[in-house]
Structure 1
Amino acid sequence: MLSRSSLVLALLTCFAFTTMAAAGRIEQKSFMKKSYAGSRDRQYQVFVPSGYTGQSPVPMVMVLHGCGQTEVNMINETRFKDLAERDNFIVVYPFITSFDPLPQRAPNCWGFFIDEHIHEGAGEVEDLYQMALEVEAAFKIDPNRRYVTGLSSGAGMAVDLAVAHNEYFAAAGSVEGLPYSETSSSVAFLGCNVQGRFKPVSAVVAAMRAEQSKPDEQRPIPIMAIHARNDCKVNVTGSEHIRDSWLDRYGINRAAVATTDCTARGVACTHTKYGLPRRSVVETVLYEGDRGFNSAHYWVGDNSGQFANPNGPSASELQWTFFKGHPFADNPPPSVSITSASATGTSITVTGSAAASAGPLAEVSVRLDGQFPQPQKIASGTTAWTVAFDNLRNNANYLPVAIAKDNDGLTASVTGQAVAVGVPPNNVPPVVAIDNLSIRGDCITLIGSASDTDDQVARVEVQLATRGFKPADLSQGSYQYQECGLPAGTYSTQAQATDVLGAKSAIASGPNANVSDLEVVTANWQVHMNAGRLRVYGARCPSIGFGACDVGFLEIFSANQFNPFPLQRKAASPDWYVHRENIP
């Protein structure tokens, strides 16, 4: 139980945050477990600035909490929300939500040190990437300006994301973080007198190279590492190894191109850049931390908080400035077109052209989709290119797909017309089914299967009632579709699949979904408060003052402490209730 003075302080914090959060809005989201190993249901919150209209693409910054924290700490204790309101970008705040207890880890730690969670295609690193894709499906995000950062274990996971998905994120940040594939032994559990043990940089570089084996993963993703020189929990060696592993992995000169004094609020600080004078690849910000505050292991220079110290250079402002100066590429992506695709016997020759807005193209590659797909081949030439596929299966259709990549790593693709080898049989349409339907609050989720006996399924689309067909997430013969914010009512469900040659399946119908006129959200009081569900209610509510419409905050906190509890309201009503029977 909180003491009376602590409770008063908590209430004052509530009021202050409620006032501060007036600009823009925070949306609470649910991430549904995927089929790959290590995936879990997770919660996350998205800050949408008041200037966002959905008409023009905006940047996206993902901010990851550290051990013992939730996404609420990052909302309150960093300044990304304020910067997003000022400069009009989307901020994503994931919450780890749940995790396997083994190998042993402290509460709410991201598994930056667990092999199952740091590789593309599985675990937490893939869940976070898929979460970013969900945000892109809901909001208009600039693909040239996607960023990720975090604190402590969240910084370690941000580094993991930067390595595992460097083809997706434009740049990354790390505050008191650790290099890729580092072990938990790097964290000092016994205070300032016993430092953690770190892998040699060569082992980190080898792990990075092993993870980045594909041609589109060779781009040196820019990164900024911020660290207290006297951090007793994660030694500054962590950020020094981030720097050194990046320089070695991408062949960057170890000599700094710029060093400046970033001293702020009396805290000594040095900002160093590596790469090219016009565009750095690695930047470090090393400052003198306050060992009297969490052993100098905290988010620096922004708001006060349990894991944040306002004294020093602003980690949020430094990283946002770095991010703004590091889009995925300084130039727009290339263009590519297919001029012709023709068959001779059991061979297909594809020709075309490509161009980059500045500088030469790196390569053009072509693959053939269809019932007997052919792997990607590097074309001969770039601005004018050609590629031949020989010894193809006879009596089949093939669909050419060309991909151009420039020297910045940006890509563009185009799909041509189907080419017949021999006399293919009539194209059999795909088959689709709705296998499972679930309803959570105002969200409907459909999971199903799609297959094609003579071709590949290109896409699956789902329709709820008469809301129009919308694309589902398709992966290895299964698909998932989620739509939230639905008004109360009964929704029929339909799905349709299309193969790569354009044949459509019959429309599959699933069970009806009934969305209640009651919206129910389960979260702890901090999350409810941040979303405006716990706030000051006026005279029309049974409870006057801070809390829910029918119950005051003291009673709510006494019953639930920091544990999650449900609040409910009628759709579109501004008033939230603890007890359903009190809703008029």
Structure 2
Amino acid sequence: MNELFGRMMAKATALTRNGQLGEATLAIQRALRGVQPGASTFTPATPATTAAPSLAPEHAGGHAKDAMVLDGYARVIDITDVTPAVDTESPPEVDVPQEERWIDGSFGHQGRKLAYKLFLPPCAAGVAADPRPMVVMLHGCTQDAADFAAGTRMHALARDLGVVVLYPEQGRHANPQRCWNWFKPQHQQRGRGEPAILAALVHAIAAEHQVDPDRVFIAGLSAGGAMAEIVGRCYPDVFAAVGVHSGLPAGSAKDVATALAVMRSGNAGASAAAVTGAVPPTIVFHGDADAIVHANNGAAIIDAARRANGLDASGVPPAREAEGRTPTGQSYTRTVYSDADGRAAAEYWQLHGAGHAWSGGDARGSYTDPSGVDASAEMLRFFLAHPRRRR
């Protein structure tokens, strides 16, 4: 738009606002033709005969063109220069599906801090956001939340089931190797240490993201498995079921020396804060060739769960044992222990020939065995079958 055209259109705008539409039309015509104000305006010849008016003429003359331009320009003025009326009715809400989300967060409690990764599954459009289950995943030594998420793929399996997955991360300030301090008495009790901050974190996440309080579960690998076992026992009112992969029994060590001993042999040490009380339904995976944490530890966890839940009492169904082999060649023995109601309260997967690694995991994560039983899928199945029973 050149300077002359701009001045002439500005004048047309002013004339329109003053109600001088005829003069405004002439001003627009001049602007379109590049005519200075005061110059004569070309007027097309009037036809000898007047045709019937057409709503959509095939050939518009100069006046028709100018009228259309004026109408369009007037509409621009109306849109840009006039305050729109306020609509008292709210526009209809449109249901938009919620995409899955990852949240990187930090949480503090009792002077301690934990970083975490949180996976929120997608929510379909038009579907009410009902409270959802949540699985808490505790990594092993030298791992972090991202590594453990990549290796276990728990969130990928949970996505289609609408399950929230929380990956807390141990800091190097708490343990140089990022191990959960399962072997220290101050981290083996309700209301203290790492069990306390993990339970508080779960409460905070559950309140903020509509988590079903009766379907919160916890699992872990190695040191993370040992801490999952401790936390599950300390907070049976929070965690409905526990999953332990290549871990150790709660309260089996009281310091580094006893921790190393129980890792080597599986003979439980005497912890000053030995955990007692209720044991949530528990699923255990352990390789019988594990050279880091002896397989006796997996058996000890199951034995404790059986005793605590009366699974050895008379009238309880006998254990069901089955042998199997994965398509990739991993052989296993699966033993299920049911309560008097026939509900599986403990499940033990002995992975024959397997070492210290998450069975069926993704090779992109550390400490994984892609050829093994899909431990993540089996844990998720077990968890969802065990909502917390309110007493």
Match of 1:208 in 2: 275
Considering only aligned residues, what root-mean-square deviation do their CA atoms show, in Å?
2.5
Q: Which residue of 2 aligns with 1:63?
A: 137
The alpha carbon displacement at 1:302 in A equals 2.5
Match of 2:123 among 45, 51, 65: 51
Does structure 1 residue 280 correspond to structure 2 residue 349?
A: no
Q: What amino acid maps onto 2:331 in structure 1?
A: A
CA distance in 1 between partners of 2:174 and 2:366 (Å): 25
Gaps of 5+ in 2: 1-98
Whole-angstrom CA distance in 2 between matches of 1:278 and 1:186: 37
Question: What amino acid sits opposite 1:322 in the alignment?
Answer: F
Q: How is 1:402-441 mapped onto 2 (pairs within 5 angstroms)?
A: 408-409=390-391
Corresponding residue of 2:299: 240
SS in structure 1 opposite 2:204?
Answer: helix
1:260 paired with 2:322, answer yes
Amino acid at match of 1:306: S
Q: How do 1:356-375 and structure 2 match up within 5 A?
A: none
CA deviations over 1:362-386 (Å, ceiling 9, x no partner): xxxxxxxxxxxxxxxxxxxxxxxxx
Distance 2:230 2:165 in 1: 19
| Equivalent in 91, 94, 110 of residue 168 of structure 2 | 94
CA drift at 1:185: 4.7
The corresponding residue for 2:264 is: 195
Larger Rg: 2
Question: Following the alignment from structure 2 to structure 1, what is the Cα–Cα distance between the partners of residues 374 and 141?
Answer: 21
> Alpha-carbon deviation of 1:114?
0.6
Q: What pairs up with 1:210-229 in 2 under 5 angstroms?
A: 212=277, 218=278, 220-229=279-288
Residues 86 and 279 (structure 1), Cα distance of their counterparts in 2 relative to 1, 3 Å cut: same
Q: Distance in 1 between matches of 2:171 and 2:264?
A: 30
Structure-2 separation of matches of 1:263 and 1:57: 36
CA deviations on 1:148-169 (whole Å, 9 max, x unpaired) are 0000000000000111001111
Report SS of the residue matched to 2:178: coil
Alignment of 1:346-357 (within 5 A): none
| Higher fraction of helix | 2
Q: Does 1:82 align with 2:82?
A: no
How many Å separate the matches in 1 of 2:374 and 2:283?
Answer: 13
Q: 1:188 to 1:119 in 2, by over 3 A?
A: closer
* Partner-residue secondary structure (3-state), 2:325: coil
Does residue 166 (structure 1) correspond to residue 236 (structure 2)? The answer is yes
Q: Superposed, which structure 2 residues align to 1:504-519 within 5 Å?
A: none
Three-state SS of the structure 2 residue aligned to 1:145 is strand
8 Å contact from structure 2 (residues 252, 259) kept in 1: no
CA contact (8 A) 2:188 2:274 kept: no
Question: Which structure's residues are more often strand, by fraction?
Answer: 1
8 Å contact 2:143–2:366 — kept in the other structure? Answer: no
2:105 paired residue among 26, 29, 32: 29
CA distance 1:28–1:325, change in 2 (3 Å): same
Deviation at 1:312, TM superposition (A): 1.0
Q: Which residue of 1 aligns with 2:204?
A: 134
Aligned residue-pair number = 283
CA separation of 1:120/1:256 partners in 2, compared to 1, >3 Å: closer, same or farther? same
Q: Report SS of the residue matched to 2:274.
A: helix
CA contact (8 A) 1:60 1:91 kept: yes
* Partner residue, 1:124: 194
- Work out whether residues 283 and 382 of structure 2, in 8 Å CA contact, stay in contact via their aligned partners in 1: yes
Structure 1 residue runs of 5 or longer lacking an equivalent are: 1-22, 213-217, 291-295, 330-407, 410-584
Given that residues 163 and 208 in structure 1 are in contact (C-alpha distance below 8 angstroms), is that contact kept between their aligned partners in structure 2? Answer: yes
1:297 to 341, 345, 356: 356
Tell me which residue corresponds to 1:270: 333
Aligned to 1:41, the other structure's residue is in SS state strand
C-alpha distance 208-41 of structure 1, shift in aligned 2 (>3 A)? closer
Contact 1:186 1:198 in 2 (8 A): no
CA contact (8 A) 1:262 1:313 kept: no
Q: Match of 2:265, as an amino acid?
A: G
Counterparts of 1:107 and 1:168 in 2: how far apart (Å)? 28
> Cα distance 1:47–1:54, how it changes in 2: closer, same or farther (>3 A)?
farther
Amino acid of the residue matched to residue 166 of structure 1? Answer: P
Structure 2 match to 1:446 = none
Task: Report the Cα distance in structure 2 between the residues aligned to 1:161 and 1:231, rounded to whole angstroms.
Answer: 24
Decide which of 98, 101, 112 is 2:182's aligned counterpart.
112
Does the CA-based 8 Å contact 2:266-2:295 persist in structure 1? Answer: no
Aligned letter for 1:208? Answer: V
State the structure with bigger RCO (CA 8 A, min sep 6), 1 or 2.
2
Conserved 8 A contact 1:42-1:98 = no
Tell me the TM-score normalized by structure 1: 0.46
Counterpart amino acid of residue 379 in structure 2: Q
Q: Distance in 1 between matches of 2:319 and 2:133?
A: 27
TM-score, length of structure 2 as denominator length:
0.67
Rounded Cα–Cα distance in structure 2 between residues aligned with 1:285 and 1:186: 26
CA distance change for structure 1 residues 187 and 79 in 2, over 3 Å: closer, same or farther? same
